[in-house]
Chains A and B, each alone.
Chain A
Amino acid sequence: NAGVTQTPKFRVLKTGQSMTLLCAQDMNHEYMYWYRQDPGMGLRLIHYSVGEGTTAKGEVPDGYNVSRLKKQNFLLGLESAAPSQTSVYFCASSKSHRGNTEAFFGQGTRLTVV
């Protein structure tokens, strides 16, 4: 049982380049999330989706776009990468949007923008 899978695991980008991070979950969860983790900051929510075809902004959405064309996939896009977007990105999914629901996380994508 794969759970939540993120692709790629590592990436180095030059400033101004674009890229897409892919998240796939096989648990039939309605809700999916993208977080970034920075030293001393914990995980911060970038965007989330409450179902196929719907997305919403989280705490730090600027510079990112997302799409949820299929229920099992949640894509995070960087149109023009900046050094400030150097971070570890985690995708997560949950079966409910209620606050007491545990989230299942992928293994993370380490992105470096030079």
Chain B
Amino acid sequence: DQQVKQNSPSLSVQEGRISILNCDYTNSMFDYFLWYKKYPAEGPTFLISISSIKDKNEDGRFTVFLNKSAKHLSLHIVPSQPGDSAVYFCAASPTFNNDMRFGAGTRLTVKP
């Protein structure tokens, strides 16, 4: 069973607009949530994370929001740039081990 779900396989936005990528999880033991970005023919790279004791974490153009009661998190990219076009993976992990569970990914396309 997939404990982390990204229900949108793809998302297309115009350059300069906001991109919102969503992620849902089922396991209440998850305490950390991470977003990874993946370009073709490369491995995933870490983008941003959030702890379950917070509801928001911001890093430049990237903000992650966590709604623990709804078991939902989202990644906002503002403004979106063509270089942001990639597959974004949501991952979740318990506190005391790095047994990350990944979502299936969302392919973001930012059109110039």
Query: Which of the segments A13-21, A38-46, A76-84 contacts the partner chain?
Result: A38-46
User: Which of A4, A31, A44, A59 contacts B43, CB < 8 Å?
Assistant: A4
For A35, the chain B residues whose CB sits under 8 A away are 102
Tell me the complex Cα distance, A103–B44, Å: 9
CB distance from B66 to the nearest CB of A (A): 13
For A103, the chain B residues whose CB sits under 8 A away are 46, 98, 100
**Cβ B97 vs Cβ A97 within 8 A:** yes
Q: Which of A51-90 contact B (CB under 8 A)?
A: 58-59, 90
CB distance from A36 to the nearest CB of B (A): 11
Residues of A within 8 A of B (CB-CB), count = 29
Residues of B within 8 A of A (CB-CB), count = 32
**Cβ B97 vs Cβ A42 within 8 A:** no
For B2, the chain A residues whose CB sits under 8 A away are 41-42
Prevailing SS type, chain B contact patch: loop
**Cβ B45 vs Cβ A99 within 8 A:** no
Tell me the complex Cα distance, A97–B93, Å: 10
User: Which of A48, A94, A98 contacts B96, CB < 8 Å?
Assistant: A98
User: Which of B32, B43, B89, B100 contacts A108, CB < 8 Å?
Assistant: B43
The answer to whether A105 and B32 touch (CB under 8 A), given A58-B99, A96-B98, A97-B98, is: no
For B44, the chain A residues whose CB sits under 8 A away are 43, 90, 105
User: Which of A41, A42, A92, A100 contacts B49, CB < 8 Å?
Assistant: A100
Nearest chain B residue, comparing its CB with the CB of A97 = B98
For B95, the chain A residues whose CB sits under 8 A away are 98-100
Q: Which of B17-66 contact A (CB under 8 A)?
A: 30-32, 34, 36, 41-46, 49, 51
**Cβ A42 vs Cβ B105 within 8 A:** yes
Interface residues of A (CB under 8 A from B): 4, 31, 33, 35, 40-45, 48, 58-59, 90, 92, 94, 96-108
- In the A-B complex, the 10 residue pairs with the closest CB atoms: A105-B43, A99-B93, A42-B102, A102-B46, A99-B32, A43-B102, A100-B32, A42-B104, A97-B98, A105-B44
